[in-house]
Amino acid sequence: MPGFSTDAILLRKIEYGDHDFIISFLTRSHGKISVIAKNAKKSVRRFTGALDLFSVNQIHCVYPKKKKDGMTILFQADLEDGLGNIRYDVLKTTYASFWVELIHFWLEEEKPQLTLYDLLFFSLDALNTGSISKEVIHLLFMIRFMALSGFEPQIESCGRCKTPLDEIEQNRVMFDFREGRIICLNCAKGESKHGRMVSKGTLKQLFWINQNEVHRVDRIKFSGLAIKEGEALLESFIPFHLGREFKSLQFLKRLRQNNEF
């Protein structure tokens, strides 16, 4: 039976009939795929893990006999890392849910995206182990996701007069959502309908975590203000650009309001 094997992160799982699941994975070799896992609720031998959300598995898939007739079949899944700590923490679960929802929405099927796979794996692993603060990982994931999906925010210099960020006189600039870039206050002249004010320090830190090796990200210390501003900026910019609200992001905002996370 022709097919393939690859590492895969579970993005979404939907019950299908009494015994089966339809599962979406972000795979190392094939990008996002949707497969049917037949008898997955019963077969402990073929599916060693619980096929939980965010889990990392080595999967073996086979193509249906007549390709146009059916979905790719998940033949076997061996759990590599359940990333179980994420599920015991409601805030971590919500961050991870947003990341996978974003990927599931944005990615087309079967377009390999190794850099995105590595980014998601790194972010989930850091969230699971707690090696880096969850707020910083969240910022790192969002800004790099935007860069990989072609919407990298332009934050090095004013989009109009090209003054580098460091040389802009004011401490704050406007980030314009439509243009995806910063505009200094001399150029913005009060136009802020599609923008948000952000301090230069926050932008410099976002720029740093977007440009440097991901493993060095714990070297940078974000202030509480930079985290709040960075979250507010990216959590507005992403839905604006993709033209869609995300349930998990709305839930995250409610959690913060109610629990003061």
- Binding stretches for Zn ion (CB under 5 A): 158, 160-161, 184, 187
Q: What is the DSSP letter of 17?
A: T
- Which CB, 54 or 175, lies closer to Zn ion? 175
- Least distance from C-beta 182 to Zn ion, angstroms? 9
- Least distance from C-beta 130 to Zn ion, angstroms? 41
- Which CB, 10 or 158, lies closer to Zn ion? 158
Q: What is the rounded distance in angstroms from the CA atom of residue 218 to the CA atom of residue 124?
A: 15
- Least distance from C-beta 90 to Zn ion, angstroms? 42
**Could you identify the residue written with the tokens 């790719």?**
72
- Which CB, 137 or 182, lies closer to Zn ion? 182
CA 212 to chain CA mean position, Å: 18
- Which CB, 187 or 197, lies closer to Zn ion? 187
- Least distance from C-beta 146 to Zn ion, angstroms? 22
- Least distance from C-beta 195 to Zn ion, angstroms? 13
Q: Maximum CA pair distance of the chain?
A: 66
Give 118-124's long-range contacts (Cβ < 8 A, gap of 24+): 119/144, 119/145, 119/148, 119/214, 120/9, 120/26, 121/9, 121/56, 122/214, 123/99, 124/9, 124/54, 124/56, 124/83, 124/86, 124/96, 124/99
- Which CB, 173 or 226, lies closer to Zn ion? 173
Tokens representing residue 175 in the block: 């980030």
